C-alpha cells in the first residue's frame, strides 16, 4: 500500500506550496476555518445567529454568510464579531 501525507496529496492535486492554485486553495480553506471558528464560538456561548447579529448591528443572514464563507470579511468586521459580538479577543498571526 502506498500511503501519502496530506501535503503530498495537496502537491499532487493543487501544486506545490507557492504555486498560484495551491495558494488559492489554502486561502479558501483558511476562510472556511475562520467561519467555522466563529460558529463554534457562537454555539459555545449558546447564542443564535440573530443574537450575534444584533450585538454588532448586522442582519442574521450576514452572520450566516460569515460562518459559511468567511472569505470576504474585513478585519474591522472580524474584530466586531469576535470582540463586540462574542466578547472574545482576536489574535492574528503573520507567518513569513
Write the pLDDT tens digit of every residue in 17-42: 889 998 888 888 888 999 999 999 99
Rounded Cα gap, residues 87 and 42, in angstroms? 10
pLDDT, tens digit, 9 for 90 and up, residues 39-67: 999 999 999 999 999 999 999 999 999 99
What pTM was estimated for this model as a whole?
Answer: 0.77
* Residue 1 in this model has a pLDDT that exceeds 80: no
Q: CA nearest 85: which of 72, 62, 94, 68?
A: 62
* Residue 2 in this model has a pLDDT that exceeds 90: no
Rounded Cα gap, residues 35 and 66, in angstroms? 6
Q: Which domains does the chain have, with CATH numbers?
A: 15-85 (1.10.260.40)
Rounded Cα gap, residues 61 and 16, in angstroms? 36
In this structure, what C-alpha cell is assigned to residue 52?
450575534
Let me know: does 38 contact 82? Beta carbons within 8 Å.
Answer: yes
Amino acid at each position: 500500500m502506498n500511503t501519502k501525507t496530506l501535503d503530498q496529496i495537496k502537491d499532487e492535486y493543487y501544486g506545490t506550496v507557492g504555486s498560484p492554485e495551491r495558494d488559492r486553495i489554502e486561502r479558501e480553506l483558511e476562510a472556511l476555518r475562520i467561519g467555522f471558528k466563529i460558529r463554534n464560538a457562537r454555539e459555545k456561548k449558546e447564542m443564535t445567529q440573530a443574537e450575534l447579529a444584533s450585538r454588532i448591528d448586522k442582519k442574521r443572514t450576514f452572520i450566516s454568510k460569515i460562518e459559511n464563507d468567511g472569505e470576504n470579511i474585513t478585519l474591522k468586521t472580524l474584530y466586531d464579531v469576535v470582540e463586540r459580538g462574542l466578547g472574545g479577543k482576536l489574535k492574528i498571526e503573520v507567518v513569513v
